[in-house]
Chain A
Amino acid sequence: MKVRYFAWMKRTVGLPEEEITPPAGIETVGDLIVWLRGRSPGHAEALAEGAAFGAAVDQRTATFDVKLAGAREVAFFPPFTGG
């Protein structure tokens, strides 16, 4: 599964994207967030509890209770500021 980070999260994590294989038991976006926090201090800071960020699963906005089953790409990003 590919995980992508955007805007300030990319700088805090230190990577734009990474290929990962989450262990069994990681079923939802929220589970993945908790697991990713353990990968580096940058991950822990970017994905910290209370940090303002959202997620997308296969390029569709997803809440943290969305299941990952079969997902190819998960993205994390700050609130949108286009226009």
Chain B
Amino acid sequence: MAVRVQEADFDVGTELAGLTDGNKRIGGLAVFVGLVREMHVREGYHRDRIDALTLEHYPGMTEAALQEIEAEANRRWPLEATLIVHRYGRMEPGERIVLVAVGSPHREAAFEACEFLVDWLKTKAPFWKLEETPAGDQWVGAHEGDDTAAARWEKK
């Protein structure tokens, strides 16, 4: 289990190799990489070009929140390896923002836990996005779809 919050970019291949090397119980590795998009997409419309994104976070609380989410995934699924790397600072379209990787003996757990981690980190970890657009800087508002996605993992 590992969580990192950093300004620097990461190399996906190096990270995945580091996660699985030496653990031969892993049969499947599910990976999500979030990238900065060059446009705002909401309700299927493309609008508002984005020149760059600045991610602000709450040092200390961010790491704790990500560790809690990671621990929850490990309670729910039989996982052999988990990694969350989330960047902060200014990034331009095409740059990597976040890496979530989950290794498990079987693919079902890896896919599900990876989706769970992405859904929960969007709504439970203290990050905020500021977009630079041709119309000026705009703070990104919470997206209802993200809340819906996160809510489906709440235990009834």
Task: Give A residues with C-beta under 8 Å from B.
Answer: 4, 6-8, 52, 56, 59-61, 75, 77-83
Chain A residues closer than 8 Å to B141, beta-carbon distance: 78-79, 81
A60 & B140 in contact (Cβ 8 Å cutoff)? no
- What are 21 A-B contacts with C-beta separation under 8 Å? A6-B126, A6-B128, A7-B128, A7-B139, A56-B58, A56-B61, A56-B126, A59-B58, A59-B64, A60-B61, A75-B61, A77-B128, A78-B141, A80-B123, A80-B127, A81-B128, A81-B139, A82-B57, A83-B98, A83-B118, A83-B127
With A59-B58, A81-B139, A82-B121 already in contact, 18 other A-B pairs whose C-beta atoms are closer than 8 Å: A4-B58, A6-B56, A59-B61, A59-B64, A78-B142, A79-B141, A79-B142, A80-B142, A81-B127, A81-B128, A81-B129, A82-B98, A82-B125, A82-B129, A83-B86, A83-B118, A83-B122, A83-B127
